[in-house]
Amino acid sequence: MRNFFFALFMLFSSNVIAEQIGVIKQIKGDVLLYKRLMEINDPIESGDVITTGATSFAKIELKDQTIVTLGPSSEFDFAQYKNSQGERDSLYNIIRGQVRIHVQKKTGPKEKINFKSGIVALGVRGTEFLVNAYQAANKATADVALVSGELAVEGQGIKPFRLQAGEYFNSNELIANGTSAVQKLNPEMLKKIKQDFMPNLQSATGALLGFGALVAAATSVIPDSKDQKEEKPTPIVEEKKKEAASLQTRHGEGFAYDLAKEPWDIRDNVMNFEENKKQNDCFYFFYKKLPGAGEEERFRRSRSCDDFDFDL
């Protein structure tokens, strides 16, 4: 009798093992699955929730050839993935952060592929689009831009409509103003976001920001992106002298960094400079005041290490 129940238990257990639905194809920095660091070729299963670190990136390819690219500080839930006899029924939750989605295989008449971000639900055909989920004025908001294909948009307080290629919206504006909040991307902006992620269209206080200026100031975090060659830049940090006696100080040319007082991103990059240089992964920081913003914001731009005149 004990053997019978044991066999029955084993049969039940084998039926509930999660199915592998995809694989990590590219990774940079810390990418976590339930606090476990992931590596290239690690499997993705239905129900997995993936998070990326503040300077991290991950590209995931699913069995149906859908590509999910996660930017820094992002969280993505592969909530449901079903593919019965070639018919897909999938649901994904964009919990926070910047995400690119490329559904390469067009959906059939009986297939359902849906993405949710807060109160916004996106129904997909064959599509490439970007979503940015974050908090603005203590409200969950989502910015969506469609590169190609078509998206069926709906949600609480949103009259269903279809987003066309080259259009974008902010969910809070969409709820407040209806489809008049849908904007068109000009060719230059469309070209730029094809190579990057969606920027925040609202500030932390809820003020709307100019899309064109945001795109122009954005810096790509996607590895191997082709950035136009410019004049040789010099790494820029906050222009203040550092105390040379600091216990955690790193010297550059003419100044020193007190790492305990630096912002986290500058501190991280200075501490990991030698390793980054080995991988030819160098960059510099600059400050810029965006339209509608109260204070200057810090941005990072990637460059080949050979472009710099001196090291940090």
Same domain? 154 vs 240: no
Domain end residue (candidates: 194, 217, 240): 217
Amino acid at 303: R
Question: In terms of residue numbers, what domain contains 282?
Answer: 227-312
Average pLDDT over residues 73-93: 89
> Does any domain span residue 266?
yes
Neighbours of 181 (CB within 10 A): 16
Contact 96, 58 (CB under 8 A): no
Share of the chain above pLDDT 90, in %: 34
- Domain total in the chain: 2
pLDDT digits (tens, 9 = 90+) for 16-71: 456 789 999 999 899 999 888 999 999 999 999 999 998 898 999 999 889 999 99
Boundary (domain end) residue, out of 217, 246, 270: 217
Asked if residue 206 belongs to a domain, the reply is: yes
Q: 10-14, 129-133, 203-207, 241-245: which range is least confident on average?
A: 241-245
Residue 9 belongs to some domain of the structure: no
- Do 282 and 238 share a structural domain? yes
Of 150, 184, 217, which marks where a domain is finished? 217
99-108, 158-167, 200-209, 236-245: the lowest-pLDDT one? 236-245
Across 258-266, average pLDDT: 65
pLDDT in tens, 110-143: 888 999 998 899 998 778 999 999 988 888 889 9
- What is the reported pLDDT for 293? 55
Interval 212-242: pLDDT, tens: 655 555 545 555 544 333 334 444 444 444 3
> Are 242 and 296 within one domain?
yes
Q: Are residues 117 and 185 in the same domain?
A: yes
